[in-house]
Every structure is written in C-alpha cells, then in structure tokens.
Amino acid sequence: MVRLKEKRLENALTGNKVGKTNKELALYCGIGVRRFLQLKAGYYKTGEVPKLNPKRRPRTELPQEYLEFIDKAIEDSGLRNAVAIRLYISKYLKKDIPYGKVHKYMLKKKVSVRDPKKQKQRKYCRYERKHSFSLGHMDWHESKAIPGKWVTAWEDDASRLILAGGEFDNATTKNSKVN
C-alpha cells in the first residue's frame, strides 16, 4: 500500500537525479511536492534517507451496514449531494458517516459526478480597500454579556479601525442606520 518506494526516494535525495526540480522529483517518487520537501529536509538534517513505516494505519472501507444506510437515504430523500446525504443520515437514521466516504461511495455508484469547475483552486476575494474610509463593514451579534441584546460594530475595511458600535434590543435595518 505504500506509494512511496524507498529506492526511488534514495535516488531522488542522494543526487542520482541531478538537475531535476523538486516538483519533478516528487512526481518521480509519487508524492506531493510539500511531502518531498519535508523528507528532503530530514535527509539534510540527519544525512540518512528517511525510512518508511509499512505498518502505518491502512485505509478502512465502510461496513455493509453503512452502505445500506447511504442507499436508503438516497432512495428516501432523493438527494444527490454527499453533504446533504450525510446530514440526512445523521438526522433521520442517527448514524455518523464520514463525508469523504459517503462521497467516494456515491461516485462509485455513479449517483453523483465530479464537477470539473470545482476541481481547481478557488480564487478568494477579501473586501479590502487601499484607502481608509472607502469601504466599511458592519455585523450584528447576540450579546453574551447581556442576554437579549444585540451588538453591532462598524469597521473600516482598510485600517480595521472600529468606527462606531451600539447595543440594541433588535437587529433591524432601522437600528443599523442609527448614528
């Protein structure tokens, strides 16, 4: 089950593959670049090629009982989404099954399909501005100190400075507009 072979790792670390990038060496070893860099750092530190642990924890498969729960949930609910199926099983059948295992089983049964658009790295947008006071942010929270009160704060997105705040009985639009 060990993907990484000690001989390949030794070749990659001892310089038998001179002129190759870390990415190429990691691909040659069958591991990720970050893991290769960790092993490489260990090699430089000790001077010995790291030994692999063949007794590490093996992958586990779901028991037949859990597979039947997933099939029953798909049939009863009509859902085709691993997260929704997992929540359905948790709520109605009172069993907790790992999301990844549910998803893997649903892919195997061809109930759900991979979305190529979701396989790539997502770009994150943080609503930040270069100049102070060009954009503000406001949020409501229920007070922990005073039960029943709602607390709000207005923050400048560029400087992260709290400009104003208040305590109110209700989190309403009218209270959001109060000076």
What's the confidence (pLDDT) of residue 83? 92
> pTM value?
0.48
* 164 Cβ neighbours under 8 A, 6+ residues apart: 153, 154
State in Å, rounded, how far the first CA of the chain is from the last one: 64
Q: Tell me the average pLDDT across 164-169.
A: 91
* 29 Cβ neighbours under 8 A, 6+ residues apart: 4, 5, 8, 9, 12, 36
CA dihedral of 55, 60, 63, 67, whole degrees rounded to 10: -170
Residue pLDDT, tens place only, 102-120: 999 999 999 988 888 888 8
Q: Tell me the average pLDDT across 112-138.
A: 81
Residue pLDDT, tens place only, 72-103: 999 999 888 899 999 999 999 899 999 999 99
Secondary structure tally for the chain: helices H, strands E:
7, 3
Which phi and psi angles does 170 have, rounded to 5°? -135, 150
Q: Mean pLDDT check: name the lowest of 39-48, 52-61, 87-96, 162-171.
A: 52-61
More confident residue, 128 or 13: 13
Mean pLDDT over each residue of the chain, to the nearest integer: 87
Q: Is the pLDDT of residue 1 over 50?
A: no
